[in-house]
């Protein structure tokens, strides 16, 4: 029998409860008030008392209110029907929630994450007599363009024999599709839906592999200079207004993955509304259909309860791990992990824990590491591979990258895409600063990149040196002026500015330039490098400036032209004439 209890105290969304039986960490409990039942999660147990964080507005909770413990951990429902959904941090489908409660969401209202009425075309893959265990495949249903695999629950213990198997047909997620019998003779009904605790990583795979395949985003500065691997992690820190959310939206549209999960964990409501309005109308560049067909949005804005904001990031990564089990490549975009960390700080303060730097909890870095470590490229028991890539944004106050959340994130991720005010104010978008950004994946993916161009990594290193050299010359010019700079140094500066202008910067509002395949990036980069290597003979600095200005215009026009089109050929011919002259 599950424990019951009563409220002893309430402080914000932290409630102290006295209970009468066994209670465990992360167990779900409901605070029963006159207005309804409010969901909470046990976050600390002390003797016969526990602290629970409530996922709702706690106004009206009184001392003595009843508390009902469920015996279950905080879980998500996994099964067909997740794609195209817009959930809150507790996996309530927000469109249905708004239909049930009206324009303003009411507290204490919870809706099943997976529709119990929709029927799915189930095709069995296992048969009567098969011995199965956790994570084994029972069958599949079509979901969009994917074959959604139906598994034996991942928390299934031991092995069991299938004694009944549903025939091909239409079933809901709660209909029995198989009956299994263990060695003791006990039988268990299995359906297409299962539940998994969000705070526990889903590790039902054979082996964790080193990420070696590039995650192509179509963004030149990322793919060429600071790439992210499939199954890898990246951090996009930047001050408010520097373009983090826009960059994430661009990545989500064009990234070469199967499933996209957007976790708005505390983002401003206006930015979330923009995402909700745009995604259903965006065309998937790989299928020509709506992008929403392979997207899940987890939506907890900064105006929603803090505890639900903290849960949203775990809900998102658990759904990502589930689709990875099907051999799919998943990309999770978390925006913004700073607000998730602020939720941890707020709860830590209410628990009166010893604070760390800037009042964040002392365990902040370990929590950040636990989250990013759930990304990965794995080989499944079936022999297939799947991946979860995580790109998280950080919003450091004042653009201070030395603050705890940024530093804790940089310690665990594989790529750092730092956005700065300087580039944003100069309208150099994406505002990823090449002087501070880095990626650990370049050497790791050498074999894959060598297939594109054997000299790729060496060429990137050469271009990066050009950027750094040009910046050093610019610093000197800021002190001594152009007059005190030699013509040779001035040309190096102009080459660096040219590289930045035509390759690192990209027009997200241009249909062609918004997305570049890796083949096109290699082609364009080689052209740029030819110009970098060319000896420029000019008589004065004005002539040099005018020369690079005209070249930049040609390259930008070529960037905006479809590959192999007449326009592309025209601009390429003019560029080739210059290179050959």
The two structure tokens encoding residue 109:
């209202």
73, 108, 128 — which closes off a domain?
Answer: 73
- Neighbouring C-alpha atoms within 13 Å toward the C-beta of 80: 28
Average of per-residue pLDDT across 425-437: 95
Residues 174 and 306 in one domain: no
Answer whether 403's CB lies under 8 Å from 225's CB.
Answer: no
In this structure, is residue 547 part of a structural domain? yes
Query: What is the distance between the alpha carbons of residues 555 and 183, in angstroms, rounded to a whole number?
Result: 70
- Assign residue 460 a region (left: φ > 0; alpha: ψ between -120 and 50; beta: otherwise): alpha
Please check whether residues 402 and 480 belong to one and the same domain: no
What's residue 441's pLDDT?
96
Choose the final residue of a domain: 167, 192, 217.
192
Please report which confidence band the pLDDT of residue 156 belongs to, taking 50, 70 and 90 as the band edges: very high
Relative orientation angle of helices 244-254 and 269-278, to the nearest 10 degrees: 20
Domain range for 45 is: 4-73
Q: What is the DSSP letter of 293?
A: G
Question: Count of domains in the chain?
Answer: 4
Whether 139 and 276 share a structural domain? no
Residues 254 and 367 in one domain: yes
Distance CA 178, CA 393 (A): 43
Dist CA 229 CA 21 (whole Å): 48
Average pLDDT over residues 109-120: 95
| Averaged pLDDT of the chain | 92
pLDDT of residue 365: 95
239 labeled part of a ligand binding site: yes
Q: Indicate which CATH number applies to the domain containing 68.
A: 2.40.10.170
182 and 209, same domain (yes or no): no
Residue 199 lies in a domain: no
539 among the known binding-site residues? no
Local confidence band at 267 (pLDDT 50, 70, 90 cut-offs): low
pLDDT classification of 404: cutoffs 50, 70, 90 = very high
pLDDT(170) > 90: yes
Give CA separation, 24 vs 6, 8, 12, 347, in Å.
16, 18, 22, 19
Q: Is 36 annotated as a binding residue?
A: no
- Model confidence at 305: pLDDT above 80: no
Same domain as 575, residue 516: yes
Do 314 and 460 sit in the same domain of this protein? no
pLDDT at 307 exceeding the cut of 90: no
pLDDT at residue 104 tops 80: no
| Position 438 pLDDT exceeds 70 | yes
**Residue 581 — very low, low, confident or very high, per pLDDT cuts 50/70/90?**
low
Pairing of strands 146-151, 36-46: unpaired
Residue 286: pLDDT band (50, 70, 90) is confident
Instruction: Write down the pLDDT at residue 268.
Output: 67
Distance CA(403)–CA(345), nearest Å, equals: 14
Closest to 150 in 3D by CA, of 121, 109, 110: 121
Question: Which of 135, 170, 192 delimits the end of a domain?
Answer: 192
Residues 520 and 465 in one domain: yes
Residue 8 to residue 512: CA distance in whole angstroms: 61
Instruction: Say how far apart CA 430 and CA 446 lie, in whole Å.
Output: 25
Span 314-343, pLDDT tens digits = 999 999 999 999 999 999 999 889 988 988
Residue 78: inside a domain = no
Give CA–CA dist 134/205, Å, rounded.
Answer: 11
Tell me whether residue 245 is annotated as binding. Answer: yes
Q: How many whole angstroms separate alpha carbon 502 and alpha carbon 104?
A: 47
Query: Per the annotation, does 242 bind a ligand?
Result: yes
Give CA separation, 281 vs 49, 263, 293, 324, 526, in Å.
Answer: 50, 19, 11, 26, 35
* Partners of residue 164 on adjacent β-strands: 179
| pLDDT of 269 strictly over 70 | no
Asked if residue 444 belongs to a domain, the reply is no
Residues 219 and 175 in one domain: no
Flag whether 89 is marked binding. no
112 assigned to some structural domain: no
Task: Write down the pLDDT at residue 285.
Answer: 80
Sorted by sequence, the CB contacts under 8 Å of residue 537 that are 6+ apart come out as none
406 is in an annotated binding site: no
Residue 97 maps to a domain: no
Same domain for 66 and 151, yes or no, is no
Contact 76, 315 (CB under 8 A): yes
Domain assignment of residue 402, yes or no: yes
Closest CA to 70 of 16, 21, 27: 27
Q: What is the mean pLDDT of residues 555-574?
A: 94
The CATH number for 532's domain is 1.10.1140.10
Q: Tell me the average pLDDT across 513-531.
A: 94
Could you tell me which residues are beta bridge partners of residue 86? Answer: 297
Find out whether 180 and 157 touch, Cβ atoms under 8 Å: no
User: Tell me, what CATH number does 151's domain have?
Assistant: 2.40.50.100
**Residue whose pair of structure tokens reads 């022999």 in the numeric block:** 383
Number of neighbouring beta carbons within 10 Å of residue 71:
14
**Is 430 assigned to a binding site?**
no
The answer to whether residues 384 and 508 belong to one domain is no
Q: Mean pLDDT, to the nearest integer, of 242-260?
A: 90
* Residue among 578, 420, 554 nearest 498 (CA): 554
* Residue 491 and residue 554 in one domain: yes
Collapsing DSSP states into helix, strand and coil, what is residue 226? coil
Structure tokens at 545: 């400036």
Residue 101 is assigned to a structural domain of this protein: no
**What confidence score (pLDDT) does residue 100 get?**
85
Residue 284 has pLDDT above 70, yes or no: yes
The pLDDT value given to residue 299: 87
């Amino acid at each position: 029998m599950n424990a019951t209890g009563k409220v002893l105290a309430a402080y914000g969304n932290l409630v102290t409860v006295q209970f009468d039986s066994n209670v465990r960490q992360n167990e779900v409990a409901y605070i029963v008030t006159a207005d309804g039942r409010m969901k909470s999660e046990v976050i600390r147990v002390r003797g016969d008392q526990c602290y629970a964080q409530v996922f709702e507005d706690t106004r009206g909770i009184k001392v003595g209110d009843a508390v009902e413990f469920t015996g279950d951990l905080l879980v998500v429902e996994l099964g067909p029907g997740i794609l195209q959904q817009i959930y809150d941090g507790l996996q309530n489908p927000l469109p249905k929630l708004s239909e049930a409660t009206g324009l303003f969401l009411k507290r204490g209202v919870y809706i099943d994450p997976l529709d119990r009425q929709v029927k799915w075309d189930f095709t069995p893959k296992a048969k009567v007599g098969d011995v199965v265990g956790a994570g084994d495949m029972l069958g599949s249903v079509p979901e969009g363009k994917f074959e959604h695999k139906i598994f034996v629950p991942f928390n299934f213990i031991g092995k069991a024999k299938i004694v009944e198997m549903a025939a091909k047909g239409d079933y809901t997620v709660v209909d029995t599709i198989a009956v299994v019998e263990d060695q003791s003779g006990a039988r268990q009904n299995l359906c297409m839906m299962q539940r998994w605790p969000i705070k526990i990583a889903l590790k039902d795979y054979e082996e964790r592999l080193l990420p070696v395949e590039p995650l192509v985003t179509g963004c030149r500065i990322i793919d060429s200079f600071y790439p992210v691997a499939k199954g890898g992690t990246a951090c996009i820190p930047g001050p408010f207004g520097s373009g983090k959310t826009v960059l994430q939206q661009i990545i989500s549209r064009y990234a070469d993955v199967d499933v996209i999960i957007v976790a708005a964990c505390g983002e401003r409501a206006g930015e979330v509304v923009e995402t909700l309005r745009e995604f259903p109308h965006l065309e998937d560049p790989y299928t020509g259909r709506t992008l929403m067909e392979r997207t899940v949005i987890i939506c907890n804005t900064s105006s929603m309860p803090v505890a639900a904001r903290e849960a949203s990031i775990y809900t998102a990564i658990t759904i990502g791990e589930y689709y990875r089990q099907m051999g799919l490549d998943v990309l999770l975009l978390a925006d913004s992990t700073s607000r998730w960390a602020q939720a941890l700080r707020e709860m830590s303060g209410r628990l009166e824990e010893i604070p760390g730097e800037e009042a964040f909890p002392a365990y902040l870095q370990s929590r950040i590491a636990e989250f990013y470590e759930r990304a990965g490229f794995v080989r499944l028991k079936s022999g297939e591979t799947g991946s979860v890539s995580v790109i998280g944004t950080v919003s450091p106050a004042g653009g201070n990258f030395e603050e705890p959340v940024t530093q804790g994130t940089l310690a665990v991720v594989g790529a750092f895409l730092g956005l700065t005010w300087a580039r944003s104010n100069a309208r150099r978008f994406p505002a990823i600063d090449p002087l501070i950004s880095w990626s650990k994946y370049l050497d790791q993916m050498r074999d894959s990149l060598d297939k594109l161009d054997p000299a790729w990594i060496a060429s990137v290193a050469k271009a990066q040196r050009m950027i750094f050299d040009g910046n050093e010359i610019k610093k000197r010019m800021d002190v001594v002026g152009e007059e005190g700079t030699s013509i040779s140094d001035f040309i190096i500066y102009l080459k660096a500015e040219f590289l930045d202008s035509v390759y690192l910067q990209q027009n997200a509002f241009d249909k062609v330039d918004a997305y570049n395949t890796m083949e096109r990036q290699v082609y364009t980069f080689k052209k740029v490098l030819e110009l970098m290597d060319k000896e420029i003979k000019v008589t004065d600095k004005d002539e040099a400036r005018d020369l690079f200005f005209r070249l930049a215009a040609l390259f930008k026009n070529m960037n905006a032209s479809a590959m192999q089109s007449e326009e592309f050929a025209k601009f390429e011919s003019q560029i080739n004439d210059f290179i050959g002259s």
